[in-house]
Amino acid sequence: MEHLKDIETRHKEIDRLRVYIFLAGSDNNFDQIRGEILRMEPKPELEAAYAHIKRESNRQGTMSEAGVTSDATAFAAAKSKQSQPNNHSADPTRNRPPIKCTKCGLDNHTIKVCYEIIGYPEGWIHKWQNKDSTKASFASAASS
């Protein structure tokens, strides 16, 4: 090889061969990215091919760590749930007496939001009222 053009051509062939050798030696986990690199035109240099493989390796590592983490988290949560005793006295809200309305005497609300004072919402059905009788009263009101 006497001419510069011949030397450049030979260097390109060697560089391309290095890429093929590198890709052939890569793990089977990289089959997809290996195929993508081989389909690229113009063929990437060795450093670019390495960067693609490294990026894919990082992605696969992150994805597998995320799977391990979620499995480990689920296992730890299940284990912690099993180890906790079913002692409701540890819950401070269980030991507290329920909120009681001073107007109607019912639990879980105060006089500020008592329907006896502020009025019942439209369509409200009392617990003691039969649902069928409510439908009948709506039907009789609609017919009159």
* pLDDT of 46 above 60: yes
The pLDDT score that the predictor gives to residue 13 is 92
The answer to whether residues 61 and 13 belong to one domain is yes
The answer to whether residues 61 and 12 belong to one domain is yes
In a domain, 80, yes or no: no
Indicate yes or no: pTM above 0.75: no
In a domain, 77, yes or no: no
In a domain, 128, yes or no: no
Average pLDDT value for residue range 124-134:
64
Position 110 confidence tier, pLDDT thresholds 50, 70, 90: confident
Q: Residue 111 belongs to what domain range?
A: 93-123
**Using the 8-state DSSP alphabet, how is residue 100 labeled?**
B
Q: How many domains does the chain have?
A: 2
Query: Which position has the token pair 């990082």?
Result: 58
The pLDDT score that the predictor gives to residue 81 is 56
pLDDT tens for each residue of 78-97: 655 555 555 555 566 667 77
The pLDDT score that the predictor gives to residue 97 is 74
The answer to whether residues 44 and 9 belong to one domain is yes
The answer to whether residues 21 and 56 belong to one domain is yes
With CA atoms as reference, report the closest residue to 15 among 50, 59, 56.
Answer: 50
